[in-house]
Amino acid sequence: MQSGEEVWLALRDSLRGNASEAVWSAGLNTLRLVDYREDEIVIGAPNQIQLQRVQQRYLPFITEQVHQVVGSHMNVSLTLSDDTVTAPREETPVRDETPTVTFAPSVDRPARLDPRMTFDSFVPGSSNRLAFAAAQSVAETPGRAYNPLMIYGNSGLGKTHLLHAIGNYVHENYPGRKVLYVSTETFLNDFIRAIQTRTQLALHERYRENDVLLIDDIQFMETRGETFHEEIFHTYNALHGEGKQIVLTSDRSPRDLAGLQERFRSRLLQGLVTEIDQPDLETRIAILHSKSEREGVELPRDVAEWIAQRVRDNIRELEGSVTMLRAFANLRQEPISLELAKSHLTNLGHEQVSLKPETILTAVSDFYGLTVDEIRGSKRLRPLVHARHVAMYLIRDLLDNYSYPMIARIFDGRNHTTVISGVEKIKDQLSSNSELLAQINQLKRQLQGEIRV
């Protein structure tokens, strides 16, 4: 039987790797082990509020992770533990109920920037290269390169990582500049608290005194009232008018955020709007190896490939799998192997969608309004050649077992060097042609069952 300390370390790793940043910061990181017996683990919370929050919201998740790490026979109990060592910055300071001119600090103070989320730890690929380069430019010359910068894409693809990377870079290289990272929810809570305590002036000062303002998940602004939208708009104007840098993220383009004020949307569109899409297979494997190197984990190539085939659209889940494997390997005192991964990562992602060249050819021909025979044929009209190269690229990118000669046979027996040339042309254009990148990503999502068109 493992010691309680060993089990708790493994369990914390598992919780940290599988919880979102918000959930982890909302209370999981303040928990500690109180007791560990053969059939029960007792976990302590530092105060009654945290205990109630974990009991109501996170107990099923904690129980699931306990069963994964220790076994399904284990019961989980929560208790109040006054001697819990609480992580710094997690407790919200008690606010005096009398209105004052001092604005109560939020949980998302600049010190909340995650030091692990830097440009060095971000893995660039074809799906995020433009956003990565734009974020670097913004960090190097705040307020001058792209202002505002708007990064959008699905959850778990690295938008928040880039926000923190910008903040960390500015803190390190421009120590005299003030940086503030907030979620939209935090901004809203601060706004409501300022109204309740009549400290709107202090709120304005807090947000508008910064040289770099980083706001996460602005899609949550859509359902808020006009007064909140006014506050956001005037904060934006005040900062932008003084040349201060503003970076925002969302799960959708500003054009698709119907709930935003039109004047605010137009200002966002005046800057650079760039998308992060799901990483390709090579990038997913690189992310796994980067994570394992940072954690000192030896991750075999076949294990990385197996995980990358199953998890296609969530970097958090990719990185969490490394953390879980490390925990399982440590508990069982054995090296990480494909057998271990298949045995214990049973709920990980999903199998790669089975594709055939004919499916890709049909999707490309439909997308460009052509026929499959035209794409396979020998005509050299510009639209046909472009669609043909896109089809070659997608077959090569999505079907790992198709070599260049095999692809050449699909296209009426062309020479395989023609296929290599076509694939390389598309690769070269992806780094500079945002329209083509959007087309390729849309076709990939359709082919992999992510969307229906």
Q: Say if residue 392's pLDDT is above 90.
A: yes
Q: In the structure, what pLDDT confidence band is assigned to residue 133 with cuts at 50, 70 and 90? A: very high
- Comparing 149-163, 191-205, 224-238, 347-361, the range with the smallest average pLDDT is 347-361
pLDDT of residue 107: 37
Taking residues 127-145, report their average pLDDT. 89
In the chain, % of residues over pLDDT 70: 88
- Residue 396 and residue 338 share a domain: no
Taking residues 347-368, report their average pLDDT. 78
CATH of the domain at 142: 3.40.50.300
- Residue 163 and residue 43 share a domain: no
Asked if residue 89 is part of any domain, the answer here is no
Query: Residue holding tokens 């990719």?
Result: 318
Asked if residue 362 is part of any domain, the answer here is yes
- Residue 435 and residue 393 share a domain: yes
Q: How far is CA 361 from CA 225, 297, 354, 369, in A?
A: 47, 40, 15, 12
Range of the domain at 395: 357-447
Say how far apart CA 69 and CA 344 lie, in whole Å: 9
The encoded tokens of residue 311 equal 């998890």
In the chain, % of residues over pLDDT 90: 17
Query: Residue holding tokens 């990385």?
Result: 304
**Chain-wide mean pLDDT for the chain?**
81
Asked if residue 364 is part of any domain, the answer here is yes
* Residue in 453, 441, 449 with CA at minimum distance from that of residue 131: 441
Residue 426 bridge partners (DSSP): none
Using one digit for the tens of pLDDT, what is the confidence trace for 190-226? Answer: 888 888 888 778 878 778 888 999 989 888 887 777 7
- Residue 245 and residue 145 share a domain: yes
pLDDT of residue 306: 87
Residue 433 CB burial class (10 angstroms; 0-12, 13-18, ≥19): middle
Using one digit for the tens of pLDDT, what is the confidence trace for 28-67? Answer: 888 888 888 888 899 988 877 678 778 877 888 898 888 8
Q: Say if residue 449's pLDDT is above 70.
A: no
pLDDT of residue 26: 64
- Residue 265 and residue 374 share a domain: no
CATH of the domain at 71: 3.30.300.180
* Most confident among 86-95, 102-111, 138-147, 222-231 (mean pLDDT): 138-147
- Residue 157 and residue 50 share a domain: no
Say how far apart CA 138 and CA 167 lie, in whole Å: 10
- Residue 271 and residue 124 share a domain: yes
pLDDT of residue 434: 79
- Residue 315 and residue 230 share a domain: no
The answer to whether residues 215 and 248 touch, using CB atoms and an 8 Å cutoff, is yes
Q: Say if residue 94's pLDDT is above 60.
A: no
Overall pTM surpassing 0.85 (yes/no)? no
Taking residues 249-256, report their average pLDDT. 86
The answer to whether residues 14 and 65 touch, using CB atoms and an 8 Å cutoff, is yes
Taking residues 410-428, report their average pLDDT. 88
pLDDT of residue 43: 92
- Residue 186 and residue 308 share a domain: no
Query: Residue holding tokens 């070659």?
Result: 392
Of 275, 307, 323, the residue at which a domain comes to its end is: 275
Of 80, 100, 122, the residue at which a domain comes to its end is: 80
Asked if residue 452 is part of any domain, the answer here is no
Asked if residue 208 is part of any domain, the answer here is yes
The answer to whether residues 35 and 42 touch, using CB atoms and an 8 Å cutoff, is yes
- Residue 292 and residue 253 share a domain: no
Using one digit for the tens of pLDDT, what is the confidence trace for 315-347? Answer: 888 888 888 888 888 877 888 888 888 887 776
Greater model confidence, 21 or 176: 176
Q: In the structure, what pLDDT confidence band is assigned to residue 402 with cuts at 50, 70 and 90? A: confident
Q: In the structure, what pLDDT confidence band is assigned to residue 102 with cuts at 50, 70 and 90? A: very low
Greater model confidence, 227 or 429: 429
Tally of domains in the chain: 4
Asked if residue 256 is part of any domain, the answer here is yes
Q: In the structure, what pLDDT confidence band is assigned to residue 283 with cuts at 50, 70 and 90? A: confident
- Positive or negative, the CA dihedral 416, 417, 420, 421 is negative
* CB atoms inside a 10 Å sphere around CB 79: 11
Residue 72 CB burial class (10 angstroms; 0-12, 13-18, ≥19): exposed
CATH of the domain at 319: 1.10.8.60
Q: In the structure, what pLDDT confidence band is assigned to residue 375 with cuts at 50, 70 and 90? A: very high
Of 38, 65, 80, the residue at which a domain comes to its end is: 80
Asked if residue 125 is part of any domain, the answer here is yes
Taking residues 115-132, report their average pLDDT. 88
Q: In the structure, what pLDDT confidence band is assigned to residue 350 with cuts at 50, 70 and 90? A: low
* Residue in 135, 189, 127, 138 with CA at minimum distance from that of residue 160: 135
Asked if residue 248 is part of any domain, the answer here is yes
- Residue 300 and residue 159 share a domain: no
Q: In the structure, what pLDDT confidence band is assigned to residue 82 with cuts at 50, 70 and 90? A: low
- Residue 296 and residue 225 share a domain: no
